[in-house]
Amino acid sequence: MPSNAELLARDAQVVIRGWENIAEPTPLARGRGAIVTDYDGKDYIDCSSGMFCVNVGHSHPAVVQAIQEQATRLIQISGHQTTESTVAFAELLSSIAPGDLKRLYFTVGGTETNNVALKLAKSFSGKHEIVALKNAYHGLHGIALSCTGSTSYKKGFGPLEPGVRHAPHPYCYRCPFGLTYPACDLRCAQEIEAIVKNEGLSAVVEGDVGTVIVEPIQGRGGIVPPQGWLTRVREICTRNGLLMVVDEVMAGFGRTGRMWGCDHEGVVPDIMAVSKNTGGGIPSGAVLTRAEIAGTFQTSAAPTFAGNALACAAGLAATRVILDQKLWENAAAMGRRLVDGLLAMKSARFVGEARFKGLMGGLELVKDRKTKEPLGKKEMARIKEETLKRGVMVTYSGPKGNVFRVQPALVISAAQIDQVVTAFDQAILAVAG
Whether the full predicted model's pTM is greater than 0.85, yes or no, is yes
- The answer to whether residues 318 and 334 belong to one domain is no
Q: For strand 209-214 and strand 243-247, is the pairing parallel, antiparallel, or unpaired?
A: parallel
User: Within a domain: residue 65?
Assistant: no
Burial category of 213 from C-beta neighbours within 10 Å (exposed 0-12, middle 13-18, buried 19 and up):
buried
CA separation for the pair 169, 92 (Å, rounded): 33
Ranges of beta strands (E only) in 259-341 are 271-275, 285-289
**Contacts of residue 310, Cβ cutoff 8 Å, sequence gap at least 6:** 67, 70, 71, 75, 76, 282
CATH number at residue 321: 3.40.640.10
Q: What is the pLDDT along the chain (433 residues), one digit of tens a residue?
A: 999 999 999 999 999 988 777 778 999 999 999 999 999 999 999 999 999 999 999 999 999 999 999 999 999 998 889 999 999 999 999 999 999 999 999 999 999 999 999 999 999 999 999 999 999 999 999 999 999 998 888 888 889 999 999 999 999 999 999 999 999 999 999 999 999 999 998 888 899 999 999 999 999 999 999 999 999 999 999 999 999 999 999 999 999 999 999 999 999 999 999 999 999 999 999 999 999 999 988 876 678 999 999 999 999 999 999 999 999 999 999 999 999 999 999 999 999 999 999 999 999 999 999 999 999 999 999 999 999 999 999 999 999 999 999 999 999 999 999 999 999 999 999 999 8
- The answer to whether residues 215 and 294 belong to one domain is yes
CATH number at residue 369: 3.90.1150.10
User: Within a domain: residue 69?
Assistant: no
Of 303, 325, 347, which one is at a domain's C-terminal end? 325
User: Within a domain: residue 68?
Assistant: no
- The answer to whether residues 46 and 144 belong to one domain is no
Q: How many domains does the chain have?
A: 2
Of 309, 325, 341, which one is at a domain's C-terminal end? 325
Of 301, 325, 349, which one is at a domain's C-terminal end? 325
- The answer to whether residues 78 and 134 belong to one domain is yes
3-state SS assignment for residue 11? helix
- The answer to whether residues 122 and 199 belong to one domain is yes
Domain with 313 in it: 74-325
- Write down the H helix ranges in 15-60: 49-52
Residue 247: C-alpha distances to residues 29, 138, 144 (Å): 32, 7, 11
